[in-house]
Structure 1
Amino acid sequence: MYSGDNIVDAAASIDTQTGGPIVSITLDAAGARINQRVTGKNIGKRMAVLYIETRSKIKTDAQGRPQKGPQGRTLRTSQRIEEVITAPVIRDQLGKRFQIEGLDSVTEGQDLALMLRAGSLAAPVEIIEERTVGPSLGQANISQGFRSVVIGFGLVLIFMFIYYRTFGLFANVALALNLVLMVAVLSVFQATLTLPGVAGIVLTVGMAVDANVLIFERIREELGNGNSPQASIHMGYNRALSTIVDANITTLIAALVLFNFGTGPIKGFAITLSIGIVTSMFTAIMLTRGLVNLFYGGRRVEKLAI
């Protein structure tokens, strides 16, 4: 008669008169005309609801081995499978809206409505590749993600300490606290840490280092201009502040857009990135400035270890 493309809606409910499960179906205009014409001529007969699936099957030789094509790809053949889902009796001439009664349970009605709403695919599904994934794969990926965070974090610490000496040590302390703050905030919100979330943490570590590098290079520039160490520290932080804030705000806007329009994994990445931006700005601007002032403030300094 008509296919799933003609079904506009299908909803499972309970008949208020009989108390039994029913499925209410709504057809489009073309399906309604077909339904009215066919059911009017077949009152008292059964109308079968068919589930039709085209499955892809591997071609095999006489020994049962998969056959290969010219390019080495496994040859497949299509197999059409038809299954009667339900076959209710036509009690009257039907039109655009009608109901299927006599179902055994509410669950059966819900399953039937779900299959009817699914409609039909324009083309059969062909399996290109099939893999069996064990439950340990997720844990292995998480472990590898954390290992990458630790390795990246360690390399950054070494580089900052070698290249910026005492100031690099201040940056390393701030970077460690940044990770602690991120984990604390994620724990407060009871957020689940996924692989995209781990990627967000790794990106945040790099962004936090970028902020410190901007500040330290600005201090070096002020020292090269002949300013005193104390003045160079003050001017370095003040003049690098606007650049750091602008860069982090633009990244935060992108993270918010990802969170608003993205799906589950993308949202996990956006959450950790957003939290990391806020914590990295705090540690890079406030914490390192406090450590520098604590170490160099209130005393006369002839040379900075930077």
Structure 2
Amino acid sequence: MLLLNYTYSHPSTFILLGIPGLEAAHIWISILFCTVYIITLLGNCTILLIVKTDPSLHQPMFYLLCVLSVVDLGLSTATVRRMLGIFWFNFREISFGGCLTQMFFIHTFTGMELAVLAMAFDRYVAICDPLRYTVILAKKRIALIGLVIILKPEVLVFPMMFLVDCLPFCSACVLAHAYCKHMGTAKLACADIRANGEYDLFLVYLLVMDLIMIFLSYVRILQAAFRLPSKDARLKALSTCGSHMAMMFIFYTLVLFSYLTHRFGQQIPRSVHILVASFHILMPPMLNPVIYGVRAKEIHERVLRIFPRERAS
């Protein structure tokens, strides 16, 4: 009878613990996460507003920047609201369907962060073949790139949802995390989850391939930048590429760390893993508007018009 009471395919709810081991610091962590979320909202909404209201910015680079801003807003919102509910109101229960939904949006929006690959392509064309920029990045091609950015992660995440949906869960489903993730949820199942682990590694492989493509793109950009006749143009190109590459290095390092520690990082404290996993989701959406947006001269000038500097009296 006890087995019958606990054996079911889909649990009614999961219990999210937040960050086990750091319960005493939950309120301070929540203030940090809330601040990051507010900055993310302000930064990305400002980018979207500026591009929408200024016809001169209706160009390929800024269309891609808008796609990235929408992705940043979606990723942050899918994560932070649930986390703050845990930290502030002790809302720890989440339904099985709600957990799958959050998992889908988090993994999908994380995959869509690869919009930075399109940004790298845009910079490559602008520097390496500026005379054909408008031809290569015509509106139809930008629309196709945007469609790939949106559809590719969804296609890759659906099998993950199917694998979790097929798992039986045979005990109290307590998830030692602040939100639902694929392998963290799968490990609660009372069944063989090798298929889940192998698919997770497959996604890591694709992630590494994308990273190599981005790296090679920026190598070509840097090669072209060093051939520019003007010193100021070289410095501008190097500055832009350097900040972009630093951002991608941080993002991909945290993503790979999060993925691999689920499988191989048993010796890493759980609280450290959860904090790193949270930061790899929260930090890029906050920094992207600055790295890719405000550093662009056109956006920077319009931001200064909205928030003019205080002048000394």
What interval of TM-score do these two structures reach, taking the shorter chain for normalisation? under 0.3
Point out which structure has higher relative CO (alpha carbons under 8 A, 6+ apart).
2
Question: Which of these two proteins has the greater Rg computed from alpha carbons?
Answer: 1
Larger fraction in helix: 2
TM-score (norm 2): 0.27
TM-score (norm 1): 0.28
